[in-house]
């Protein structure tokens, strides 16, 4: 057994996180697949605090979610969870495995993600938090002489840039 597979077999819990704009359903299963946590939080500071409290008994928790980016993923990574993104098509297949009738609820989605992670997650790759320098470089940079490039409208010239060139164009263009 590889070191990674051995470490996976020692995990005590696996979570599925079904996210939405205003609330999130969270379900945790143990290594046998028994549901040990099942709750919904509002997407508020209080809700996130409640989630951290409910999940605190599971250090190093592996968590599956049907996205690989966004504010929810960033918060989960910042909280120290091992976040495993699941492709929406794969998530649909995992859901069908749990609810062949086609029943789709937030709870079933969270449960199917948690159980899929428990069974198949040893072959998945977790997301890595962005390096602080990468985050800094990716954020829009404000310029003291005008708008930053990230928000500059394409139909308006940049200060001191294309305005000078365009002011010398021939008539009729």
Predicted confidence at residue 73, as pLDDT, reads: 93
**112 or 163, which is more confident?**
112
Domain annotation for the chain: domains and CATH numbers: 3-123 (3.30.420.40)
Q: What is the structure's pLDDT at 115?
A: 96
What values do phi and psi take at 73, rounded to 5? -60, -45
User: Is there a contact between 32 and 128 (Cβ–Cβ < 8 Å)?
Assistant: no
The token pair that represents 169 in the structure block = 């164009």
pLDDT tens-digit readout, 45-76? 999 999 999 999 998 899 999 999 989 999 99
Q: The whole model's pTM is what?
A: 0.72
CB within 8 Å of 15: residues ≥ 6 apart: 26, 27, 28, 29, 37, 55, 58, 61, 62, 63, 64, 81, 114, 117
Confidence of residue 146 (pLDDT cuts 50, 70, 90): very low
Of all residues in the chain, what percent carry a pLDDT higher than 90? 57
Q: What is the pLDDT of residue 4?
A: 61
Q: Please, what is the end-to-end C-alpha distance for the chain in angstroms? A: 71
């Amino acid at each position: 057994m590889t070191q990674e597979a051995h470490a996976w077999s020692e995990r005590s819990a696996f979570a599925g996180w079904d996210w939405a704009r205003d609330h999130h359903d969270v379900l945790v299963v143990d290594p046998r697949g028994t549901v040990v946590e099942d709750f919904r939080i509002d997407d508020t500071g209080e809700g996130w605090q409640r989630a951290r409290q409910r999940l605190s008994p599971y250090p190093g928790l592996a968590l599956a979610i049907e996205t690989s980016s966004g504010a929810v993923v960033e918060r989960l990574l910042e909280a120290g969870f091992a976040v495993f993104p699941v492709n929406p098509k794969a998530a649909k297949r995992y859901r069908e495995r749990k609810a062949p009738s086609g029943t789709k609820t937030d709870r079933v989605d969270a449960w199917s993600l948690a159980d899929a992670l428990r069974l198949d997650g040893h072959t998945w790759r977790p997301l890595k938090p962005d390096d602080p320098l990468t985050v800094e470089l990716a954020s829009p940079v404000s310029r003291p002489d005008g708008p930053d490039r990230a928000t500059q409208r394409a139909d308006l010239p940049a200060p001191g840039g294309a305005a000078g060139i365009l002011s010398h164009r021939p008539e009729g263009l």
